[in-house]
Amino acid sequence: MTQLRTLSGFFFGAMLLAACETFPISTGGIVPAAPVPCPAYAPGQGPLEAPFPTACMDMQSSPSGLRWIELSAGEDQSRGAPGPDATVVVTYEGFLASDGTLIDSSYERGEPGVFDVPQLLPGWGEAIQMMTPGDEWMVYLPWPIAYGAEAVDDVIPAQSDIIYRMKLEWFLTAEEMAAEVQASEDAALLDGPDMAAWEAVFPWDPDAEGVNKLASGVSYVRLETSNSSMRNALITDDVLIHYEGRLAETSDFFDSSWSRGEANRFPVGGLIPGFTEALTYMKPGDRIIVHIPADQAYGAEGSGEVIPPNADLMFQINMLEIYPADPAF
């Protein structure tokens, strides 16, 4: 991608007004408390000391209950904020508001998160659409605009308020994203499968230099490595790929998206096990050849007249795009 390659607390106020008759009102000498400074939260990675303040001098809030403190501002505001259909690149850490327990961190994964705004938690989506690239905020999401009333595995208890330290690194509009995907498709289609690479790896030798062997018996060699900032595909994602499949024993061709002239979008978890596993080692721009043993492919049944029983398979795969399925932490 152009700039990719390679997303928010609880303030509730209530005032009760009653009027039966007109009575003189006395303030009793009460003076409103002066605003207190906000805690000195530092930008970047680091622990969180709970609790998050309910009010302080630099805190802002919205009707949804979102509260935020701006830690730093981006140098160039001219790009503006992402819209509701943008794809955003965000460096972040998430904490339980109750005790400051870390629940997720892009820093620990070594790369920013890349998300489509419609897939974000409601509070995340609200906050990110007020930020411009380079902005970093501390954001408090009350549970109704975070994960709601249900627990998330053993990580997030039910009805948990969440705090995020989040920095918007960059974003692409829907139009820019579509153009990026189309450009990737066009480039991949023009390239086609790497025929020299096919010749170089046949017959397949799992012990050859450069071959990566996995515990399942799947093995692969990397032909091209992307410089994309995006993470590898997850089993919950959809991916857009070009691919060509061959029988490992004979190198006979049996399927190719390049031949059809169109990349395919697949759910990562909906494919044969070896293909799924291979995709989780790829990010957009990567190209590999993978060898899949029969027990990780179509097994003893084979597949129609194309793939015989107990056939090992080989695929050349070029990953073009990842479509994250889960909401961001």
Q: Active-site residue 147, yes or no?
A: no
Architecture in CATH for domain 59-172: Roll (3.10)
Active site residue 11: no
92 catalytic residue (yes or no): no
> Among 131, 164, 140, 171, which Cα is nearest to 43's?
164
Q: Which of 115, 140, 220, 243 is catalytic?
A: 243
Partners of 211 in beta bridges: 221
Q: Please name which of 329, 315, 230 lies closest in space to residue 264, comparing C-alpha atoms.
A: 315
pLDDT in tens, the chain (329 residues): 434 333 333 222 222 223 333 334 334 445 455 579 999 999 999 999 889 999 999 999 999 999 999 999 998 889 999 999 999 999 999 999 999 999 999 999 888 999 999 999 999 999 999 999 999 999 999 999 999 999 999 999 999 999 999 999 999 999 988 887 777 666 655 568 888 999 999 999 999 999 999 999 999 999 999 887 778 999 999 999 999 999 999 999 999 998 888 899 999 999 999 999 999 999 999 999 999 999 999 999 999 889 999 999 999 999 999 998 755 54
> What's the pTM?
0.55
107, 202, 254, 281: the active-site residue: 254
Query: Which of 163, 298, 322, 329 is flagged as catalytic?
Result: 298
**Domain boundaries, given as residue ranges, for the chain:** 59-172, 178-323
Residue 203, preceding peptide bond in cis (omega within 30° of 0): yes
- Name the strand (E) or helix (H) holding 178: helix 174-191
AA letter at 60: Q
Cβ contacts of 171 within 8 Å, gap of 6 or more: 79, 82, 86, 87, 88, 89, 133
The total of other beta-carbon atoms located within 10 Å of residue 303's CB is 16
Yes or no: say if 321 and 234 are a contact pair by the CB < 8 Å rule. Answer: no
> Which of 92, 220, 315, 329 is labelled catalytic?
315
Catalytic residue among 235, 272, 312, 323: 272
Q: Do 178-323 and 59-172 fall under one CATH topology?
A: yes
Confirm if 94 and 153 have CB atoms less than 8 A apart. Answer: no
Catalytic annotation present for 254: yes
What is the domain class of 178-323 according to CATH?
A: alpha beta
